[in-house]
């Protein structure tokens, strides 16, 4: 069993918002005994070909929180996503909510600060975020206590957020028939990912797991909720006691065949800034860069 403080008697209310453009699932997680809630992994819409940013996905979540009279406490980023833009700063303007990420964000900022040739005005100390969590840190959402678990491998700063009987696993695990996320981005490591997955699988069997992405493998409908028990038994990459060695070989072979995510270039530049755009020029115009032959 895990050493992290877990209380399976607390049953948060979880509402999912699926973004079909990026196959991302965002969540509102609410304290059943107060109005307090958190948002996990919000999405800002982008038409990359047109360079156009819109807010429909974020507005849906804002409307949901407001119309149900909830108070937003935290905006949780499970990691620096490479496939969609975070809407956390936009949501914060309307609803507040501290923006949080793992403290190893500094490693991610160092790596991609170089890739995008950011000047010294781009701080690599995580100060763009309101709170940085390290492994085992706890936090409150109303009367609920959550714990952050460091789960590197997909990225160095990945965290799993456990709140009562639910865990938001980010890209540590996919649904059982989806397996696991890639571990080949700069700073990723398949062996570390295996070790992090074992941390998740050591949580209580009945814990509800909410994943960040689903692609409906083999034509099934999109799903986002599973349990530790199901993942342990049937996950196609790690279920049934798969060894570290077998997993690492499978993951590295598979990653070598994958293209870069469609939105990785805009996503990293924005998400390493906690969802903010790069600073505008003197006329108020905002630009994203395309680093050539760097990814």
- The tally of CA atoms less than 13 A away on the side-chain side of residue 61 is 35
Name the residue nearer to Fe ion (CB basis): 30 or 84.
Answer: 84
Whether 178 contacts 24, CB under 8 Å: no
Give me the least distance between CB of 79 and Fe ion, in Å please. Answer: 6
Whether 109 contacts 115, CB under 8 Å: no
Give me the least distance between CB of 181 and Fe ion, in Å please. Answer: 6
**Torsion angles phi and psi, residue 244, rounded to 5:** -60, -45
Name the residue nearer to Fe ion (CB basis): 100 or 164.
Answer: 100
Give me the least distance between CB of 123 and Fe ion, in Å please. Answer: 22
Name the residue nearer to Fe ion (CB basis): 184 or 252.
Answer: 184
Interface region with Fe ion, contact rule CB under 5 A, candidates 79-87, 138-146, 160-168, 252-260: 79-87
Give me the least distance between CB of 50 and Fe ion, in Å please. Answer: 24
Name the residue nearer to Fe ion (CB basis): 27 or 31.
Answer: 27
Interface region with Fe ion, contact rule CB under 5 A, candidates 81-89, 103-111, 127-135, 137-145: 81-89
Interface region with Fe ion, contact rule CB under 5 A, candidates 13-21, 117-125, 170-178, 236-244: 170-178
Q: How many residues belong to the site for Fe ion (CB under 5 A)?
A: 2
Name the residue nearer to Fe ion (CB basis): 164 or 170.
Answer: 170
Considering only the C-alpha atoms of the chain, give the largest distance between any 2 of them, rounded to a whole number of Å: 58
Interface region with Fe ion, contact rule CB under 5 A, candidates 48-56, 73-81, 219-227, 252-260: 73-81
Interface region with Fe ion, contact rule CB under 5 A, candidates 84-92, 171-179, 224-232, 274-282: 171-179
Environment class of residue 8 by beta-carbon count within 10 Å: exposed (0-12), middle (13-18) or buried (19+)?
A: middle
- 249 membership: H or E segment, kind and range: helix 244-255
* 222 to 86, 191, 197, 258: CA distances (angstroms): 21, 28, 22, 21
* Binder of Fe ion out of 77, 171, 214, 231 (CB under 5 A): 171
Name the residue nearer to Fe ion (CB basis): 103 or 171.
Answer: 171
Q: Which of residues 113-152 bind Fe ion (CB under 5 A)?
A: none
Whether 157 contacts 108, CB under 8 Å: yes
Whether 159 contacts 133, CB under 8 Å: yes
Classify residue 24 by its DSSP letter.
E
Interface region with Fe ion, contact rule CB under 5 A, candidates 169-177, 188-196, 232-240, 251-259: 169-177
Name the residue nearer to Fe ion (CB basis): 14 or 169.
Answer: 169
Take residue 284 and report the two structure tokens written for it. Answer: 């108020």
Give me the least distance between CB of 178 and Fe ion, in Å please. Answer: 13
Give the CA radius of gyration of the chain: 18
* Residue sitting closest to Fe ion (CB): 171
Give me the least distance between CB of 36 and Fe ion, in Å please. Answer: 27
Name the residue nearer to Fe ion (CB basis): 6 or 173.
Answer: 173
Residues 111-117: contacts with CB under 8 Å, at least 24 apart: 111/186, 111/187, 112/80, 112/186, 112/268, 112/269, 112/272, 113/272, 115/186, 115/268, 115/291, 115/294, 115/295, 116/268, 116/269, 116/289, 116/291, 117/289, 117/291
Binding site for Fe ion (CB under 5 A): 81, 171
């Amino acid at each position: 069993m895990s050493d992290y403080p877990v209380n399976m008697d607390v049953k948060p209310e979880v509402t999912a918002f699926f973004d079909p453009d990026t196959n991302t699932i965002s969540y509102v997680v609410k304290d059943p005994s107060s109005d307090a809630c958190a948002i996990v992994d919000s999405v800002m819409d982008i038409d990359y070909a047109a360079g156009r940013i819109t807010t429909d996905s974020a507005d849906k979540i804002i409307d949901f929180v407001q119309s149900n009279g909830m108070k937003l406490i935290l905006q949780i980023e499970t990691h620096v996503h490479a496939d969609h833009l975070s809407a956390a700063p936009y949501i914060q303007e309307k609803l507040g909510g501290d923006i949080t990420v793992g403290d190893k964000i500094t490693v991610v900022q160092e790596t991609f600060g170089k890739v995008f040739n950011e000047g010294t005005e781009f701080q690599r100390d995580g100060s763009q975020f309101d709170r940085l969590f390290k492994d085992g840190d706890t936090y409150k959402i109303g009367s609920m206590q959550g714990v952050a678990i460091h789960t590197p491998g997909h990225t160095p700063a990945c965290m799993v957020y456990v709140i009562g009987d639910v865990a938001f696993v980010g890209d540590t695990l996919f649904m059982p028939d989806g397996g696991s996320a890639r571990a080949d981005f700069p700073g990723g490591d398949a062996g570390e990912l295996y070790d992090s997955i074992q941390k998740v699988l050591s949580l209580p069997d009945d814990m509800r797991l909410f994943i960040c992405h689903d692609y409906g493998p083999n034509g099934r409908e999109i799903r986002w909720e599973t349990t530790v028990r199901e993942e342990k038994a049937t996950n196609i990459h790690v279920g049934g006691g798969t060894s570290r060695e077998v997993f690492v070989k499978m993951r590295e072979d598979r990653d070598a065949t994958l293209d870069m995510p469609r939105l990785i270039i805009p996503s990293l530049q924005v998400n390493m800034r906690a969802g903010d755009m790069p600073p505008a020029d003197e006329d108020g115009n905002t630009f994203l860069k395309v680093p050539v032959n760097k990814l």
